[in-house]
Chains A and B, each alone.
Chain A
């Protein structure tokens, strides 16, 4: 099973800040890494697929990068509505796995 480790677990940030969340895989997964946003009391929402490909309807301030074992989700110009938990997910091999999550709090 591929383990995904996110950092940080929690971050308190101010609006307009640039936020970076990292996800490290226990073995190479090429670009089979995807990012989700889960707002309080909501289901997860797919933000980025294949490490860096944007999803229709997702604000352009969200971007992703990386390949192999190290990946990054960046939010440029944080907005209050971005308060949520963010999860990475790998589809390289079964069982599909998720990172433990990063909770973003807006100051």
Chain B
């Protein structure tokens, strides 16, 4: 059974960088069959796809896809040695306050999700 667990600071100051990690267990992040994703949910609101990475264990490289609305500030990467997915979001504002989920995307749907981690942007 695949499990995902997000971790990271719950409070980030405005203009700083939000950094989150997602630890994947029960499956290899480099299996090449999936896209490893970040999705966020603003308080009481809907879901916003941030982006995902497709990592190939054959070529040892990842290809990233980002939401254009966040692309200039987002980086998604993987650490295959730790079986972890990471999110960096720079220059955060209060509008980035949200519950951040990591999720596995196996086309066409997101089939496994972490429990989510709440990040508040405040001074």
A contact set with B: CB distance below 8 Å: 1, 32, 34, 36, 43-46, 49-50, 55, 87, 89, 91, 94-101
Q: Which of B19-27, B64-72, B78-86, B88-96 is near enough to bind chain A?
A: B64-72
The docked-state distance in angstroms from the alpha carbon of A89 to that of B108 is 10
- Kindly provide the distance from the CB of A41 to the nearest chain B CB, expressed in whole angstroms: 9
Asked if B46 and A101 make an inter-chain contact with CB atoms under 8 angstroms apart, the answer reads yes
The docked-state distance in angstroms from the alpha carbon of A42 to that of B46 is 13
A-B contact pairs, 11 of them (CB 8 A): A36-B109, A44-B47, A44-B113, A46-B109, A46-B111, A55-B109, A89-B110, A91-B107, A95-B49, A97-B49, A98-B46
Asked if A98 and B48 make an inter-chain contact with CB atoms under 8 angstroms apart, the answer reads yes
Size class of the contact patch on chain B: 20 to 34
Q: Which of B46, B110, B111, B116 contacts A100 (CB 8 A)?
A: B46
Which 4 pairs between the two chains have the least Cβ-Cβ distance?
A: A43-B113, A98-B47, A95-B67, A96-B49
- Residues of A near B46 (CB, < 8 A) are 87, 98-101
- Residues of B near A87 (CB, < 8 A) are 46-47
The docked-state distance in angstroms from the alpha carbon of A97 to that of B39 is 10
